[in-house]
Amino acid sequence: MRGRSYTAWLGAALPGELGRRGLAVPVADLAERSAGDLGFGRRPPPRHGVRAEAARCRRARRHDRQRSSLRQNLDQQSYPEESPMKLAASLAALTLALLTGGTAVVAGHRTPAHQTALEEVVERGEIRVCTTGDYRPFTYRDPKTGQYTGIDVDMAKDLAAALGVRVTFVPTTWRTLMSDFTAGRCDIGAGGVSVTLDRARQAYFSEPYLRDGKTPITRCENASRFQTLAQIDQPGVRVVVNPGGTNERFARENLKQATIVVHEDNTTIFDQIVAGRADLMITDSSEARYQAKIHPELCAVHPDQPFTFAEKAYLLPRGDEEFKHWVDQWVHLRTHDGTYRRLSDAWMR
């Protein structure tokens, strides 16, 4: 039997005159009115104060979204013939779900209650930031103190201040960044994260805050030898890479004759070039500039004309439009009001 729209299904399932008179009102409306009439699900009066009132408003907005989502979900589905008894059971389940903020199942379709990351962060009083701590100037974890510093560390602190919450940095690696993020260990990912299509399949990216690209860094006396990929991809040339990120991927995709040397510790990888254990590294222009600044022996090769185009942005939960919109606005403001430039200049100049 062909399925029918929710309204037609409900109208036919209601007995006699109720269905014919068009009293098949949306279930969400019925549940909402039932809650008001019966007094179920009412919360106690909010405490006095701005934070209590803000929390009440967030709850009200969340409940409005839940009801709207439920109505839309119901109206888009097709429902089979049901007996009045089954209809009554469905109505009861929906009413209970709306009263408790839970999850309803109607004709096999699940409608989950939803809370955005923006609301969760504010209610928790904490924003959790996944970061590798090994990629200066964006993120660095001091092994002695455990303290994090860097451009994106400072930006994360600014973001937390804008939300009125504390920031907690969650350690990760380039190999495990996406699995840690998608597992819900953190609310955002930060620390010089490059935008890639593979990552974008698993998470959202914020509005970009920096344009970047891959360029070589080598001992200054060798800079003229490694201007092009053809010059680099020669037998006997040793290219050092950190594992699991876009640097290793670029090297393996573009170098077929040069020797790729994997160095696990990204915080000491440039010492390998200084000591002569590797000839060069191909990394982001921003990192090449910074490392050339703190290692006088090293020179960034054409950082203004990198081999690739790339952008850096913050990882955000996939599907959470409200949180993405808020973070995008924050990035836009901070990249135009001088905040990002001020924080970046403290590291790059």
What is the rounded CA–CA span in Å between residue 28 and residue 96?
A: 11
| Cis amide leading into 137 (omega within 30) | yes
Question: Over 200-228, what HEC string results?
Answer: HCCCEECCCCEEECEEEEEEHHHHHHHCC
Shared domain check, 83 and 232 = no
What total number of domains does the chain contain?
3
- Count of alpha carbons within 13 angstroms of residue 175, beta-carbon side: 6
Last residue within a domain, chosen from 114, 132, 158 = 114
For helices 321-334 and 339-348, what crossing angle results, to 10°?
70
Shared domain check, 321 and 205 = yes
The answer to whether the beta carbons of residues 299 and 223 sit under 8 Å apart is yes
Last residue within a domain, chosen from 59, 93, 114 = 114
Place of tokens 């819900």: 184
Residue 164 identity = G
The token pair that represents 82 in the structure block: 């049901």
To which H or E segment does residue 288 belong?
Answer: helix 285-294
Shared domain check, 100 and 10 = yes
The token pair that represents 227 in the structure block: 């201007």
Query: What pLDDT does 349 receive?
Result: 84
What is the rounded CA–CA span in Å between residue 33 and residue 35?
A: 5
Shared domain check, 104 and 20 = yes
Shared domain check, 195 and 64 = no
261: burial class by Cβ within 10 Å (0-12, 13-18, 19+)?
Answer: middle
Per-position DSSP letters for 75-132, written without gaps between them: HHSEE----HHHHHHHHHHHHHHHHHT--EEETTEEE-----HHHHHHHHTEEEEEE-
Tally Cβ neighbours within 10 Å of residue 44: 5
Query: What pLDDT does 113 receive?
Result: 52
Residue 315, domain extent: 118-211+311-348
Last residue within a domain, chosen from 114, 144, 176 = 114
Q: Residue 282: beta bridge partners?
A: 216
Strand locations in the chain (E)? 4-5, 78-79, 104-106, 109-111, 126-131, 134-135, 139-141, 148-149, 166-171, 188-189, 204-205, 210-212, 214-219, 238-241, 259-262, 280-284, 298-300, 310-312, 315-316
Alpha carbon 270 to its chain's center? 30
- Count of alpha carbons within 13 angstroms of residue 12, beta-carbon side: 11
To which H or E segment does residue 60 belong?
Answer: helix 50-76
Shared domain check, 94 and 11 = yes
Shared domain check, 166 and 44 = no
Query: What pLDDT does 43 receive?
Result: 46
Shared domain check, 130 and 157 = yes
Shared domain check, 286 and 327 = no
Shared domain check, 143 and 244 = no
- Beta strands 126-131; 4-5: pairing state: unpaired
Query: What pLDDT does 134 receive?
Result: 96
Shared domain check, 262 and 126 = no
High-pLDDT (> 70) share of the chain, %: 67
For helices 50-76 and 6-13, what crossing angle results, to 10°?
80
Shared domain check, 88 and 50 = yes
CATH of the domain at 189: 3.40.190.10
Per-residue pLDDT of the chain (349 residues; tens, 9 = 90+): 445 554 454 455 444 444 444 444 444 444 444 444 434 444 444 444 555 555 566 666 666 665 565 555 545 554 444 455 555 545 554 555 445 444 444 333 333 456 899 999 999 999 999 999 999 999 999 999 999 999 999 999 999 999 999 999 999 999 999 999 999 999 999 999 999 999 999 999 999 999 999 999 999 999 999 999 999 999 999 999 999 999 999 999 999 999 999 999 999 999 999 999 999 999 999 999 999 999 999 999 999 999 999 999 999 999 999 999 999 999 999 999 999 999 999 999 8
* 299-315 pLDDT, tens digit each: 999 999 999 999 999 99
Residue 337 three-state SS: coil
